Amino acid sequence: MNQGTDATAEKLCCRDVWKIFGKLPGGALGQLRNAPQRQHEIQTLPGCTVAVREADFSVREGELFVIMGLSGSGKSTLMRCLNGLIRPTWGEVFVDGRSLQAISAKQLRRLRQEKMAMVFQHFALLPHRTILDNVALGLELQGVSKKRRRAKALEALELVGLQGWERNHPVELSGGMQQRVGLARALAVDPQILLMDEPFSALDPLIRRQMQDEFLKLAAKVKKTIVFITHDLDEAIRLADRIAMMKDGRIVQMGTPEQIVLEPENDYVEEFVASVSRAKVITARHVMADPRPWTSRREEDPLAVLDRMKKEDLQCVFITDTDRRLLGVLTREEAARKIRGGSAPAGCNGVPAIGPDAPLSEVVEQAASSIHPTPVLDGRGRILGVVTRKRLLQEWKQDLEG
């Protein structure tokens, strides 16, 4: 989604972050840190749990970064390192280039108040407060005046579609609504970074899906840097700009959803994504064929075009201008008729086409409704490729086998 934003600033950054729970005799960890074979030795530390190993990544401004892993993979611990709720054993976390390890407790609290907000799996609302006061919690902790925090909290409630509920208590709301309150509470402080710890995992599948859709819309609107934790690969693929896959505390692969699904780098990821339908990440771009055999310039001799169609067994060609912009489609019969009539093949308008990022479901829908192959056009109407039924079926077969 945001592939073009490589140049923007790094908002959050982890440098060689480790978190080891448990006690070791004094100084043992310090010695290990510099040991050349620490990877190996740490595997066998007695009485310790290594929750996060060597986490090294950065999140760009405005990015939706998903940390994905099963329970116990260390993703929650890693997230809590990002806002200092958990102090890493080694390594540093930078927020806007400032190391969390180098600032005072007071500065850290300030940073949490102003820059980052968190959304929790089980909502973590305060049952004794009204919805409005729950949403205003962050502002209250900042010391914002009652009038202003009321106004801002109402604004945040409206953003998540819960206006009119501000006087109720959390227990009166459904799970989905409670999580919206959690989201509103995070948005009310207008943070630059949102940390979301499995926010939709506790919801029913149907509600979850709906929340994901709404969340995507909201995320596009509020433009925050978002770190999102999930154990659900489908959710990760739907939401993420980039995914970091975690296993046993280690990030085993990091990349766009397409990269994760189509180019798994190791057995674990491969096994994990095997169950995912490739259709979820495949777009028209992945299945389109080279358009050259299928196109013909407007100026081309109709006889030559018809000849080529017969030779290559094409039912139709797409007529383009000199800039490869699609003008129309010309079937074999039309071409023959036009030659008999003596006019040049002009092609007809209104050819159904799709964009290169259209998901496979859309491509299939389009292909099913048209007898012609489906042209893939870029933003300026130039033909990038052609999706034939044969290609679609091949893709489907691969998916079934995959």
Partner 1 sequence: MNGIMEVLTTKIPLGEGVAWLVDTLTTRFSAQFRFVSDMLEGGIQALTWCLSALHPLVFIALCTALAWFIRKSKGVALACALGFLLLLNLGLWESMVQTLALIIAATLLSLTLGIPMGILNAHSRTAYFVTRPLLDLMQTIPAFVYLIPALMFFGLGEVPGVFATVVFAMPPVIRLTCLGIQQVPTERLEAGRAFGANWWQMLLKIEIPSAMPSILMGVNQTIMMALSMVVIAALIGAEGLGASVMRALAVVDVGMGFESGLGIVVLAMLLDRIVRPEKTPDGSS
The residue (of 40 and 128) whose beta carbon lies closer to partner 1 is 128
Q: Which stretch binds partner 1 (CB under 8 A): 33-41, 118-126, 235-243, 297-305?
A: 118-126
Quote the least distance from Cβ 198 to partner 1, whole Å. Answer: 11
Q: Which stretch binds partner 1 (CB under 8 A): 57-65, 132-140, 218-226, 379-387?
A: 132-140
Q: What is the DSSP letter of 91?
A: E
231 contributes a contact to partner 1 by CB under 8 A: no
Q: Which stretch binds partner 1 (CB under 8 A): 7-15, 42-50, 109-117, 376-384?
A: 109-117
- Measured CA angle at 36 (ends 45, 30), to 5 deg: 55
Considering only residues 165 to 224 of the shown chain, the ones binding partner 1 according to CB under 8 A are 169-172, 185, 189, 195
Q: Which amino acid is at 49?
A: T
Residue 68: closest CA among 219, 272, 258: 272
Quote the least distance from Cβ 189 to partner 1, whole Å. Answer: 7
Q: Which stretch binds partner 1 (CB under 8 A): 88-96, 116-124, 154-162, 289-297?
A: 116-124
Quote the least distance from Cβ 108 to partner 1, whole Å. Answer: 8
The residue (of 129 and 231) whose beta carbon lies closer to partner 1 is 129
The residue (of 63 and 197) whose beta carbon lies closer to partner 1 is 197
Quote the least distance from Cβ 118 to partner 1, whole Å. Answer: 4
Considering only residues 38 to 97 of the shown chain, the ones binding partner 1 according to CB under 8 A are 80, 83, 85
Quote the least distance from Cβ 131 to partner 1, whole Å. Answer: 11
Contacts with partner 1: how many residues (CB under 8 A)?
33
Cα dist from 144 to 106, 147, 149, whole Å: 17, 8, 6
Q: Which amino acid is at 209?
A: R
The residue (of 102 and 400) whose beta carbon lies closer to partner 1 is 102
141 contributes a contact to partner 1 by CB under 8 A: yes
Return all residues near 101 (Cβ < 8 A) that are at least 6 apart: 87, 88, 92, 93
Q: Which stretch binds partner 1 (CB under 8 A): 15-23, 112-120, 221-229, 344-352?
A: 112-120
The residue (of 80 and 238) whose beta carbon lies closer to partner 1 is 80
116 contributes a contact to partner 1 by CB under 8 A: yes
The residue (of 116 and 384) whose beta carbon lies closer to partner 1 is 116
Angle subtended by helix axes 389-401 and 360-368, to nearest 10:
140
Quote the least distance from Cβ 190 to partner 1, whole Å. Answer: 13
Return all residues near 181 (Cβ < 8 A) that are at least 6 apart: 123, 125, 131, 134, 135, 157, 160, 162, 170, 173
Cα dist from 17 to 26, 195, 230, 231, whole Å: 20, 17, 20, 21
Sign of CA dihedral 206, 212, 215, 216: negative
φ and ψ of 107, to 5 deg: -65, -35
Strands (E), 89-163: 90-95, 98-99, 116-119
Return all residues near 63 (Cβ < 8 A) that are at least 6 apart: 2, 5, 11, 225, 226, 241, 242
111 contributes a contact to partner 1 by CB under 8 A: yes
Placement of tokens 């009204």 in the chain: 130
The residue (of 24 and 85) whose beta carbon lies closer to partner 1 is 85
120 contributes a contact to partner 1 by CB under 8 A: yes
What is the rounded CA–CA span in Å between residue 354 and residue 287?
Answer: 12
Residue 149: closest CA among 217, 338, 157: 157
- The residue ranges that bind partner 1 (CB under 8 A) are 80, 83, 85, 109-114, 116-118, 120-124, 126-129, 137-138, 140-142, 169-172, 185, 189, 195
